Amino acid sequence: MSLVVVGLNHRTAAVDLLERMTVASTALPKALHDLTGREHLAEVVLLSTCNRTEVYARTTRFHDGVDDVRHFLADQSGVDPDLIGEQLYTYHDDAAVAHLFGVASGLDSMIIGEGEILGQVREAWSAAERESTVGQFLSRTFRHAVEVGKRARTETGIGRHAVSVSSAAVQVAAERLGSLEGRRVLLLGAGDVGEGMAMALSGAGVGEIVVANRSRARGRELASRVGGRAVPLDDVLDVLVSSDVLLSSTGAPGTLVERADMEEVMRRRDGRALLVVDIAVPRDVDPGVANVFGVMLLDIDDLKAVGEQSLQNRRAEVGKVRVIITDEIDRLRMERLAREVAPLVTSLRERAEELRQSELDRHSSKLSALDPSTRDMIDQVTRGLMNKLLHEPTVRLKDAAGSARGELYADALAALFALEDLPTGEDPPMPDAEG
């Protein structure tokens, strides 16, 4: 079996394709089961954020498994699989692990070192566990990825003073207006990204923060934390008439503010300009709003300049994180190799012990005539001889595990000692992964 990741992100695809590919949290269970229902996908985790949609899978056949994922993504986006091929990346085995570790560490984010992605990786893994679309293989890999993400932020400065996507949106808004001090800001969406924007706004000296959210309770709770006020979604257009900035980040499946709505808002504003920063994927605001007179519309693509500056500030830390990732890939590989050979070594020793006991039993009538100390000595001598004979093959097998030579050793050992019924190359049964 192979580990593969197939996906696209902010570097390989424009926002319009990203939003078509996005899987909403409410649609995630169905999508996961759709994937695992395909012939060559044994385990699956689906990571879908505003910057990426990626499928991590354990495949039964590499190329066929990749095709299964490509066709799923094509179905998801409604785009011909041949047309999205150039915008998809595919990594397998160690390269797939390295990519996942880089994602969890914030190296693959638009804003290098941002912390939101680690929680998103953890939640994608948890969702797959809830839907039982992962087994021990992917669960161990994702648990290790979360550990790598934590280690990268603890042992390097990659996350120090990091700019998140939400704070970058506020930063871009402040730069376009010169300052947010005294401005009235309408915040559309009170999820994790919306919360991050609210926290950033609270330190920017804004005059008022108004929060609109599908869940009124969540909206009121966030508004109270930043000294703002909450309004229902139905009041968004009325609030926009007196606002200076709209920051939008909901997880809604379709647009919430249409061009015709914005044209009516601008007629009521008496010519006052309005800044709209829509970082939702899929977008909350109709792209046609950019053509409405007096409206400046920015989206997730406009945050890339902030990401480039973040990369410049953290370039020295990127190398340190990559060293950690390399170390952790080696550690994961060694752990996996040890699990692969452990059942064979155990079976070999059990087989040898069976033969030793069988010989002792065959001569039991003669051994019974000996005094207990002599019988014990014979038991110890035969056990010691067995251990010495098995020591060198065991060491050589463990040292060669995972290589072509190791596979030859394992196959020969299984055949010579009648261990053919033992499955090799698979993980032995392990306790269920923790969530």
Q: What is the pLDDT of residue 429?
A: 37
Q: What is the pLDDT of residue 407?
A: 63
In the chain, domain spans? 2-162+313-333, 178-293, 341-416
Average pLDDT, the chain: 86
Set 6, 50, 210, 275: catalytic member: 50
Q: What is the pLDDT of residue 435?
A: 29
pLDDT over 50 (residue 426) = no
DSSP state of 406: H
Whether 407 is catalytic is no
More confident position, 88 or 337: 88
- Give Cα 385 distance to the centre of its chain: 50
Whole-prediction pTM: 0.69
Q: What is the pLDDT of residue 301?
A: 81
Q: What is the pLDDT of residue 180?
A: 92
More confident position, 45 or 305: 45
pLDDT digits (tens, 9 = 90+) for 278-302: 998 889 999 999 999 999 999 888 8
pLDDT over 90 (residue 334) = no
More confident position, 89 or 50: 89
d(CA 245, CA 176): 11
pLDDT band at 402 (very low <50, low <70, confident <90, very high): low
pLDDT digits (tens, 9 = 90+) for 14-59: 888 888 899 988 899 999 999 999 999 999 999 999 889 999 999 9
pLDDT digits (tens, 9 = 90+) for 131-162: 999 998 899 999 999 999 999 999 998 887 66
Q: What is the pLDDT of residue 428?
A: 37
CB 297 within 8 A of CB 257: no
Q: What is the pLDDT of residue 235?
A: 93
Give helix then strand counts, H and E, for the chain. 16, 10
More confident position, 69 or 375: 69
Q: What is the pLDDT of residue 424?
A: 40
Question: Which pairs from 343-348 meet CB under 8 Å and 24+ separation?
Answer: 343/422, 343/423, 343/424, 343/428, 344/397, 344/410, 344/413, 344/414, 344/419, 344/422, 344/424, 345/394, 345/397, 345/398, 347/419, 347/422, 348/390, 348/393, 348/394, 348/413, 348/417, 348/419
Residue bearing tokens 């939101």? 116
Mean pLDDT of 239-263: 93
pLDDT digits (tens, 9 = 90+) for 59-77: 999 999 999 999 999 988 8
CB 42 within 8 A of CB 59: yes
d(CA 72, CA 183): 44
Mean pLDDT of 241-261: 92
pLDDT over 60 (residue 387) = yes
Mean pLDDT of 381-399: 85
* CATH architecture, domain 2-162+313-333: 2-Layer Sandwich (3.30)
* CATH architecture, domain 178-293: 3-Layer(aba) Sandwich (3.40)
Q: What is the pLDDT of residue 98?
A: 95
pLDDT band at 432 (very low <50, low <70, confident <90, very high): very low
The dihedrals phi and psi of 207, each to the nearest 5 degrees, come to -75, -40
